[in-house]
Structure 1
Amino acid sequence: MIIYSVTINIDESVHDKWLEWMKDTHIPEVMGTGKFINAKIAKVLVEEEMGGITYSIQYTAENKEILDKYYAEDSERMREEVTKNFGNKFVAFRTELAVVKEFNDNRLNATEYLFTYGTLQQEDIQLTVFSRTLSGFNDVLLGYKLSDEKVVGVYPVMHRSEEPADFVNGRVYMCSNKEILEADKYEGPAYKRIKVVLNSGKTAWAYISSTQQPN
Structure 2
Amino acid sequence: MADILLFSYGTLRQPEVQRTVFGRELDGRPDAIVGYQLGEVTITDAAVIAASGSAVHPALVSADPDSGVNGTVFALTATDLAAADDYEVDDYTRVLLPLRSGAKAWVYVLAAATPDGVDHAG
Counterpart in 2 of 1:146?
38
Q: In structure 2, list runs of 5 or more residues that go unmatched.
A: 44-54
| Identity %, equivalent residues | 38
- RMSD, aligned α-carbons: 1.1
Q: Which residue among 85, 88, 92 is the counterpart of 1:187?
A: 88
The answer to whether the 8 Å contact 1:151/1:157 transfers is: no
Deviation at 1:212, TM superposition (A): 2.1
SS at match of 2:42: coil
Name the count of aligned residue pairs.
105
Counterpart in 2 of 1:114?
6
TM (norm. structure 1) is 0.47
Residue 136, structure 1, aligned to residue 38, structure 2: no
SS at match of 1:184: helix
Counterpart in 2 of 1:213?
114
TM (norm. structure 2) is 0.81
Deviation at 1:194, TM superposition (A): 0.2
- Runs ≥4 in structure 1, deviation > 6 angstroms? none
Question: Per-residue displacement from partner, 1:156-214 (whole Å, max 9, x unpaired)?
Answer: 111111x1111011001000011111101101111100001001011100000111223
Greater relative CO (CA pairs within 8 A, separation 6+):
2
Question: Per-residue displacement from partner, 1:60-100 (whole Å, max 9, x unpaired)?
Answer: xxxxxxxxxxxxxxxxxxxxxxxxxxxxxxxxxxxxxxxxx
Deviation at 1:151, TM superposition (A): 2.4
Return the index of the structure with the highest Cα Rg. Answer: 1
Rounded Cα–Cα distance in structure 2 between residues aligned with 1:118 and 1:143: 17
For residue 12 of structure 2, what is the amino acid of its counterpart?
L
Residue 177, structure 1, aligned to residue 78, structure 2: yes
The answer to which structure has the higher helix fraction is: 1
The 5-angstrom pairing of residues 85-124 of structure 1 reads 109-124=1-16
The answer to which structure has the higher strand fraction is: 2
